[in-house]
Structures are given as C-alpha cells and as structure tokens.
Amino acid sequence: MQKLSPPPAHVAIIMDGNGRWAAAKKLPREEGHRKGAQVVEAVTKAAQNAGVKYLTLYAFSTENWRRSPAEIAALMRLLSQTLDKYRAQKDNNVRLIVSGRRRKLGKAVLAKLDNVINATAKNKGLTLNLALNYGGRQEIVDAANKLLTLGKTKIAEADISKNLYNNLPAPDLIIRTSGEQRLSNFLLWQAAYSELYFTPVLWPDFDEDAFTAALKDYARRQRRFGK
C-alpha cells in the first residue's frame, strides 16, 4: 500500500454495523460479528503497513452487557478465538494491550488476554489497544479514584491523563463506521482534539481501501489544537 505522509500515529475505531450487515443478508447477528472479527485482523495489518503506531478498537463497551446473553457469549467466543490467533502470531511485531475494567470479563478470557499481552510485550511495531468492557466516563472516574487513593487533594489535567487505563498519545483520528455520528462513551478525555471521520460503510465491509480512504481524508485536515 502507498505510504501516506505523515500517517496518524494513533487511530481509534468505533466498529459499528455488524448487526445491520447480518440483517441485510438475513443472517444471525453472530455472523456479522464473525465477519467483523476478520475485519479486525485485516485492518490491524493495514494499519501496521501504513505506519500507524497505535490502533485502539472499541471491541466491547460497558453498555454492551445489556445485549442478550447469547450475543454476549458469541462476542466473548470470538474474542477468545481471536486471542488464540494473536498468540500464534506473536512474532508479527504487534503488541497487545487492553483498556477497560477487567472485572466482569470472564476468568478464561482474562487469562488468555494476559497470556497474549505478556507474549507480545516486547513487540515494537503496532500497539493494538483493545477497548474491552470500556467506557470513557468510567475511565475518567477510575483515574480520579486512583488519584484519591494516592492521597491527591488537588487534581491537574496531567494527573488524569497519566492515570487513564493506558498512557498512550491521544488519538489523532477517530473513525466510526455504519453512518452513526457520535462517540458513544469512547475515549471522552482523549478525543478533545481528535479528528473525527464517519463513514456509512458497515464494519464487516470495512476493508483496506476503506481504511486508506480514512487516512487520506485525515491527511487533508488542518489541525489547529485550538490555536
């Protein structure tokens, strides 16, 4: 793929539209998620090839627990299968990290996550940050509570930033698929100056070309950071 200069260092994606993709094909919702999981792998590779350093994917929100037990189980199964693949591909230079509240994720999933996180910790290529049981408001609350336990009585912006789930640079570009135009509790603190890109493409149809189109759109943006 052609290298765009400069690529966004951190791309974050709200992967939306799996259910609608499946419904349009008269398939069960799970099939949309299954195709969506394949797209996760393809987009991770595309991001790595494009020179992106951090890719944050909204894989499961704190609100997603409101879905049916069957759908939640299907999503966790897909996550588990994807982690098995990441474990097998641990030498592809992708480092896995996670953002979100660990409790509530099952013990088996947590064990697999930790296994892949440890196995890929030294990889220096792309950092893949999976947002799992993630909520932006909860992340800010968790950071504030951590600061309280540290004995802080006055909080500065930098204190919050440093105590988020991961101390990554803020996302340069946030992509949301499927035509919805909102953040849905995603990276609320970090999104202050992010460029937003909305596409009607449903996540299971989001391919390397669609990803490249988003990067090209970003390359045309003028970032002023309030100046």
Q: Which residue is nearest to ligand FPP (CB)?
A: 19
CB 201 within 8 A of CB 175: no
Going along the chain, which residue ranges are E strands? 10-14, 54-61, 95-99, 127-134, 173-176, 195-198
Q: With CB under 6 A, what is the number of residues at the site for ligand FPP? A: 18
Does 16 help bind ligand FPP (rule: CB under 6 A)? yes
From 12, 15, 47, 96, residue interacting with ligand FPP (rule: CB under 6 A): 15
Secondary structure element (H or E) that encloses residue 209, with its range? helix 208-219
CA–CA separation, 208 vs 12, rounded Å? 15
From 37, 52, 126, 214, residue interacting with ligand FPP (rule: CB under 6 A): 37
Q: Scanning residues 192 to 221, which ones bind ligand FPP (CB under 6 A)? A: 203
From 12, 13, 43, 79, residue interacting with ligand FPP (rule: CB under 6 A): 79
Is 142 catalytic? The answer is no
CA–CA separation, 202 vs 190, rounded Å? 25
Is 115 catalytic? The answer is no
From 10, 11, 12, 19, residue interacting with ligand FPP (rule: CB under 6 A): 19
* 2-10, 35-43, 117-125, 148-156 -> range binding ligand FPP (CB under 6 A): 35-43
Site string for ligand FPP, 136-175 (x = CB under 6 A): ----------------------------------------
* CB closer to ligand FPP, 81 vs 145: 81
Q: End-to-end distance of the chain based on CA atoms, in angstroms?
A: 34
Helix then strand count (H, E) for the chain reads 7, 6
Does 59 help bind ligand FPP (rule: CB under 6 A)? yes
* CB closer to ligand FPP, 147 vs 168: 168
Residues 6+ apart with CB under 8 A from 133: 60, 61, 62, 65, 100, 101, 102, 104, 105
Comparing CA positions, the residue from 168, 172, 184 lying closest to residue 217 is: 172
CB 211 within 8 A of CB 13: no
Does 40 help bind ligand FPP (rule: CB under 6 A)? yes
* CB closer to ligand FPP, 8 vs 19: 19
For residue 178, what are the CA distances in angstroms to 37, 39, 206? 16, 14, 9
Q: In the complex, which residues of this chain contact ligand FPP (CB under 6 A)?
A: 15-20, 33, 36-37, 40, 59, 64, 75, 78-79, 82, 130, 203
Known catalytic residues? 16, 64
